[in-house]
């Protein structure tokens, strides 16, 4: 398989390479099977996307759909709407989830009071339990998070599949399309999420020092969610 993975990070952000390693590890695919494109440098055309077997969309670093603080947003929204229209196999996480919400007419807000960073417990909704992919997770599970923006309103006709106490809109699936997105990070585990947090610590805990206990981070393992990306690849393999 060949997977196209979209990132959205500053060129000097060490988390760009970190994210790439995490997607390789979490999919279980050889590194050469994943092609990475950084959206600030290039938004691929839909014809370029179709040269691949599936799309994954990762995190954002310093970008936010609330601020729309980069020129690549309009072209990216157009690409994702084409993905939905044609049913191109896709899994998006965190920033990717928020891109889909906005592209399809939902609403994302900046909400630092409901920041989730670390491992958080989620529960499946009734629609989530019925979903052929998200429903493979237990009714309650822990997932890795790292966000201060959150979905406040799902797009029209799109059901919410999972919820946490702080952020009740956590996952979506496009009806009758192999397109899923989650606010949480199935590509991260307890250790890699902590590494991500430490890289962005000034955003989550301004003024925090290495020898001061972090106030916001919840270090909790999330073994159930590690099955999600391999299960997605199994579902779309051979399409």
Please count the other Cβ atoms lying within 10 Å of the Cβ belonging to residue 70: 16
Please count the other Cβ atoms lying within 10 Å of the Cβ belonging to residue 204: 20
Using only C-alpha atoms, the chain has a radius of gyration, in whole angstroms, of 16
Banded pLDDT at 207 (limits 50, 70, 90) = low
* Burial group, residue 191, by CB count within 10 angstroms (0-12, 13-18, 19+): exposed
Q: What is the mean pLDDT of the chain?
A: 94
User: Collapsing DSSP states into helix, strand and coil, what is residue 173?
Assistant: strand
Residue 1 · residue 24 · CB < 8 Å: no
Quote the CA–CA distance of 131 and 226 in Å, as a whole number: 17
19, two tokens: 């994210």
Mean pLDDT throughout 38-63?
A: 96
- Nearest CA to 193 out of 22, 9, 6 is that of 22
Q: Which residues of 214-237 are buried (b: 16+ CB within 10 A; e: fewer)?
A: beebbeeebebbbebbeebbebbe
138-169 pLDDT, tens digit per residue, is: 999 999 999 999 999 999 999 999 999 999 99
Share of the chain above pLDDT 90, in %: 86
Quote the CA–CA distance of 18 and 199 in Å, as a whole number: 10
pLDDT at 24 over 90: yes
Please give the helix or strand (H or E) that residue 84 lies within, else none: helix 73-86
pLDDT of residue 131: 98
2-21 pLDDT, tens digit per residue, is: 999 999 999 999 999 999 99
Structural domain spans, the chain: 3-236
pLDDT at 78 over 60: yes
**Residue 150 CA to chain centroid, in angstroms?**
12
91-106 pLDDT, tens digit per residue, is: 999 999 999 999 999 9
Please give the helix or strand (H or E) that residue 107 lies within, else none: strand 107-110
* Burial group, residue 50, by CB count within 10 angstroms (0-12, 13-18, 19+): middle
Q: Which fold has domain 3-236?
A: Rossmann fold (3.40.50)
Higher pLDDT among residues 218 and 193, named by residue: 193
């Amino acid at each position: 398989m060949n997977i196209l993975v979209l990132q959205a990070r500053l060129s000097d952000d060490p988390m760009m390479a970190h994210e790439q390693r995490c997607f390789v590890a979490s999919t279980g695919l050889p590194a050469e099977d994943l092609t990475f494109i950084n959206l600030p440098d290039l938004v691929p055309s839909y014809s370029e996307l179709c040269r691949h077997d599936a799309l994954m969309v990762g995190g954002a670093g310093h970008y936010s759909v609330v601020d729309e603080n980069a020129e690549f947003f309009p072209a990216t929204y157009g690409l994702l709407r084409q993905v939905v229209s044609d049913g191109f196999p896709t899994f998006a996480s965190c920033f990717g989830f928020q891109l889909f919400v906005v592209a399809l007419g939902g609403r994302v807000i900046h909400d630092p009071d409901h920041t989730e960073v670390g491992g958080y417990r989620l529960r499946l909704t009734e629609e989530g339990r019925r979903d052929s992919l998200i429903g493979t997770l237990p009714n309650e599970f822990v997932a890795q998070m790292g966000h201060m923006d959150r979905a406040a309103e799902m797009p029209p006709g799109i059901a919410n599949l999972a919820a946490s106490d702080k952020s009740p809109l956590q996952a979506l699936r496009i009806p009758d399309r192999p397109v899923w997105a989650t606010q949480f990070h199935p590509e991260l585990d307890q250790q890699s999420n902590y590494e991500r947090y430490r890289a962005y610590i000034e955003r989550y805990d301004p003024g925090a020092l290495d020898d001061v206990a972090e106030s916001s981070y919840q270090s909790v393992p999330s073994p159930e969610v590690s099955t999600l990306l391999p299960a997605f690849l199994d579902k779309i393999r051979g399409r």
